[in-house]
Structure 1
Amino acid sequence: MTEIIEGLSMSPLEILALLGAVALVVARWLPPAARPRVTIAAGAVLVPSATVLGVVGIRWQLLPVLVGAAVVLPFALAPLLRRRTGRRSWRARWWLALPGSAACAGLIAMGPVAAWAFPVPVFPEPSGDFAVGTRVVQWTDPLRPEGFTADPNDLRTVVVQLWYPAQRSPAGAQRAQYLGRTEHEARTVSDALAGAVGLPGFLVDGVPEAHTRAVVDAPVAGGGERFPIVLFSPGSGGVRTQNTAWAEELASHGYLVAALDHPYDSAAVVLADGRTIHAETASTGDRDRDETLAADWTAVRAADLGFVLTRLEGLDRGETVDPLTGRLDTGRVAVTGHSIGGAAALQAARQDRRFDAVIDLDGYPHGPTSPALRQPALALTQAITPATDPRYLPRLTEALGQSTATSYRLTIPGAAHLTFMDGTLYLPPVPSIVGTLGRTESPRVVAGATLTFLDAVLRDQPGDPARSLSAFGDLSVHHPVVGG
């Protein structure tokens, strides 16, 4: 598919086909002398564009355009053919032609509207000083049997995507596929994500066509600088790539981001041997039972996060030959997550003192709230409305309040739950789904608040974090528990 033009949500070929279809409809209403020329020009643009799209792949969003053009085309060509054969040209009365033209125009207009509502995502250009590289690794924990299967020899395996500061790649270097290492993996994951929320897969079939800003296996940035580490756990059913825009922005500012797939919890995890593991976690509808299950799944995710940090420490020490050996600052580590991944980040921080900071992206704190957090924490939340779970803020306040370090709760006006992931780039801009910040502002605000906090607590950047964070929304500061 030809690269999508940012803002228009359509490729140049699709725009040409659209313009040709519009011109066919308009030609009927032009002065007689102009009609033949416009009709011929429209056909000369529309037919080749549609033919090429048929070869490279037509997105469903363009189908109404082509249907509208197919309906109007015989009526547009008939007068030309009659003139060439010497037969008298016949045209319908305007009051008969108007409804047909309006119907065709309506069909054609549905195309760009659908493309705008369900676009191929265009990822923002990272704003940091570094280019961004990425690669995927798969690690198996020799100490943990897989709890989702009955096979005692099946050990817990996680797939991890790394984003890291990289050297500038040559112009035209192939950027990383979104959602997977290959287009096949991307489509497998996309179909699983759509199915998990009850959407027909074709609605988001443009998502696996997207490419991000990172370059696969790009050389690590020179200079010998060590990169603080940020671990990330996705939301329920979510996948390692769901916060790619956020991860790339952090990596461009000098952080190593490691995002996890959690097998049997993530919608689809494609392993190195080609097997695909689908999610087996599901709500029962019983609140108490679901809370118990969520706490159990959170504990598994927290253990995954600790294991990945152990592997990153080994990688930095040179236990395996790797370009990142000696480049990771394992003494400055943050653990983060979205939704239930945020709950897992909080649990991982409680259990593992190697984590120096924790960020919860709109996650309800499942599981125990003890022992107290000893790391500074930032909780980003969506705008609180009457529809918000009334247990959410009290539970989050309890988790942050029982801390021996300063913690922050930042409520972002206009944010919804999916504001904190890539969904804002490709889902319809419905406020209840993705908020009202927009496709450009949403990733900027979330990444900006995250970097403000990380720079303060991991890099000891001077200044008052509270003052900087308050620029992004409504801030509550939770001071350390006295005597904690």
Structure 2
Amino acid sequence: MGFGRGLAGLGLTLIALLAAVVPARADETLNLEIPPLTGKLKIGTRSFELIDRSRPAGFEMTGKRRLMVQVTYPRKRGAGACRRAPYLPPGTAGRLLSYLNLDATVDIDTRACLGGAVTRKALPLIIFSHAYTADRAVYTSLINDLASRGYMVASIDHTGDAFAVEFPGGKVVDGIYGSPLSSKPIKEPELVRLVNVRTRDVRFFTNWLLKQNRTKRAWLKGRIDPRRIGIFGHSLGGATATRVGLVDRRFKASADVDGSLFGNWPLTARSDKPFLLLMADGGLGSVLPLDKSCHFFGNANPPKIGWQLADSKHLSFSDFLPLAPQIAERKPDWPFAGLYSIITGNLDPDLSVSSQRTAIARFFGAYVKSGKKPSKMKPPVPPARMVPVTDQQLTCDDSD
């Protein structure tokens, strides 16, 4: 089984899709939804702007490093009426519709409430990092489902390489690498730099969360268990999660969802924490090889888990998987309806989403939520449609 599939960046893989979209009528409303959550808990979500005053903004911007972050969590019973959380704020939503050439109102049910008190007990914390030219919103299905299972999930927009970030007051900062329509080609040294910037973003955000957890009268006071922290990410976010897991001892486990690793460290680093490599079995282009991910996985100490999702593509792990067929059903003239399997694979979306959610939950359930030493835990069983992969089955080359 080769590891030659490249980094299928979100922007590059969407070019064929988005260029073909037929405009909807301006008076048309498309009502979409993420799949029902599988956990038993009702969830709330809040977004915040954070400023890291120790770093310059970078990415051709002045001032200090500004981030938009989101915390999704089990909502306390009796927390009040539920006002549904929007999928995207107005500015970034407008940009996405413009990129899609979709002249319509799109209403997406996120199955989350806007705000509300957090459940009383201390929760395991999972950080999420998005793909190159993506943003945190396009992983709402995975994030919200994990929260419904009893986790606090904290996601982050990496300003500068996210396609667009909207701050309080409505200011939208576009990424410098292009849009989902046409992301710029990028070479490995720049990707190494981005992972380093993102790693600092994550550690800064984690510091803020844990400070809130200790601060009297803060809304998160006592709601995070600092002994149970993990991280996962998709694509470049997967590389970020892997790096953070190596350099920050607070993180007990990390999961790389179909992401390439960059630089020299993956060739020599030896992880001593639980590590999940969750892979698609088909790609949509080749930007950089995945051979360094293969070396890292091979060198990692147990417990390490490799699972490959059958009949999947790189974008199967984003919300495009459950949302695109809903658009196609409501708009039969949408050319993407006939291209769906090229973008997100042939597996039924409900089955694919269920398998992904279960995989993430089983991994973090064993190695973060349980609070037990990894050596005391049995390795989680792969969910349906996930094929186990061992380092003996991998060949670290550049072939597809």
Q: State the TM-score, normalizing by the size of structure 2.
A: 0.79
Going from structure 1 to structure 2, the CA distance change for 1:210 and 1:329 (only over 3 Å counts) comes to same
Asked whether 1:454 is paired with 2:359, we answer no
For residues 146-189 of structure 1, the C-alpha deviation after alignment (integer angstroms, 9 at most, x for no partner) is: 222364xx111111111100135699732111122xxx235235
The one-letter amino acid paired with 2:378 is: D
**Shift in alpha-carbon separation, 1:121–1:399, aligned structure 2, 3 A:** farther
Counterpart in the other structure of 1:366: 262
CA deviation profile, 1:434-478 (whole Å, cap 9, x unmatched): 112233222211111000101011133886325x12644111245
User: Partners of 1:326 and 1:310 in 2: how far apart?
Assistant: 15
Residues of 1 paired with 2:205 and 2:272: CA distance? 21
User: Which one of the candidate residues 197, 204, 218 is aligned to 1:322?
Assistant: 218
Q: Residue 365 and residue 169 in structure 1: after superposition, are their counterparts in 2 closer, same or farther (change >3 A)? A: farther
Query: Whose helix fraction is larger, Structure 1's or Structure 2's?
Result: 1
Query: Which residue pairs with 2:141 in the alignment?
Result: 245
Distance change in 2, residues 1:263/1:381 (3 Å): same
1:383 alignment partner in structure 2: 281
Alpha-carbon distance in structure 1 between the residues aligned to 2:61 and 2:313: 38
Aligned 8 A contact 1:424 1:439 in 2 = yes
Q: Which residue of 1 aligns with 2:126?
A: 230
Kept in 2, the 8 Å contact 1:407–1:478? The answer is: no
Of 160, 167, 174, which aligns to 1:264?
Answer: 160
Correspondence 1:141 to 2:52: yes
Structure 2 counterparts to residues 388-467 of structure 1, below 5 A: 389=286, 392-427=289-324, 428=336, 430-460=340-370, 464-466=378-380
Worse overlay, 138-147 or 413-422: 138-147
More strand by proportion, 1 or 2? 2
Distance 1:141 1:190, change over 3 A: same
Contact 2:92 2:166 in 1 (8 A): no
Letter in 1 for 2:355: V
- Alignment check: 8 A CA contact 1:379 1:409 kept: yes
For 1:267 and 1:391, locate their aligned partners in 2 and report how far apart those are by CA, in whole Å.
20
In 1, the alpha carbon distance for the partners of 2:242 and 2:64 equals 25
Select the residue among 102, 108, 115 that pairs with 1:202. 102
- 2:93 is aligned, of 187, 192, 195, to 187
Q: Deviations over 1:307-347 (max 9, x none)?
A: 1111111011116x432210101211111111111111111
How many angstroms does 1:431 deviate by? Answer: 1.1
Quick one: distance in 1 between partners of 2:164 and 2:24?
26
Q: Distance in 2 between matches of 1:361 and 1:121?
A: 25
The aligned residue for residue 156 of structure 1 is 65
SS in 2 for 1:129: coil
Number of the residue aligned with 1:54: none
Q: Is the 8 A contact 2:125 2:230 kept in 1?
A: yes
- Larger-Rg structure: 1
* Residue of structure 1 in register with 2:112 after alignment: 214
Could you say which residue in structure 2 is the equivalent of 1:290? 187
* One-letter amino acid matched to 1:450: I
2:3 maps to what in 1?
none
Give me the whole-angstrom Cα distance separating, in 2, the residues matched to 1:189 and 1:259. 20
The corresponding residue for 2:328 is none
CA root-mean-square deviation: 2.8
Distance 1:176-1:470 versus aligned 2 partners, 3 A rule:
closer
Unpaired stretches in structure 2, ≥5 consecutive residues: 1-21, 325-335, 393-400
Instruction: Return the match for 1:176 from 57, 67, 85.
Output: 85
CA distance in 1, matches of 2:341, 2:71: 31
Alpha-carbon offset, residue 61 of structure 1? 4.6
CA distances 1:7-32 after superposition (whole Å, capped 9, x unpaired)? xxxxxxxxxxxxxxxxxxxxxxxxxx
- 1:271-315 Cα distance to aligned partner (Å, 9 max, x none): 124321101025664xxx611111111111111111111111101
- Rounded to whole Å, the distance in 1 between the matches of 2:81 and 2:249 is 43
Instruction: Give, in whole Å, the separation in 2 of the partners of 1:235 and 1:122.
Output: 22
> Given the alignment, which residue of 71, 75, 79 partners 1:166?
75
Name the residue aligned to 1:108.
none
Give the alignment partner of residue 128 of structure 1, picking from 22, 39, 44: 39
Equivalent in the alignment of 2:388: 475
CA separation of 1:262/1:245 partners in 2, compared to 1, >3 Å: closer, same or farther? same
How many residue pairs are counted as aligned between the two chains? 348
For the Cα contact (< 8 Å) 1:410–1:470, is it kept in 2?
no
SS in structure 2 opposite 1:177?
A: coil
Distance 2:304 2:287 in 1: 21
Percentage identity across paired residues of the two chains: 26
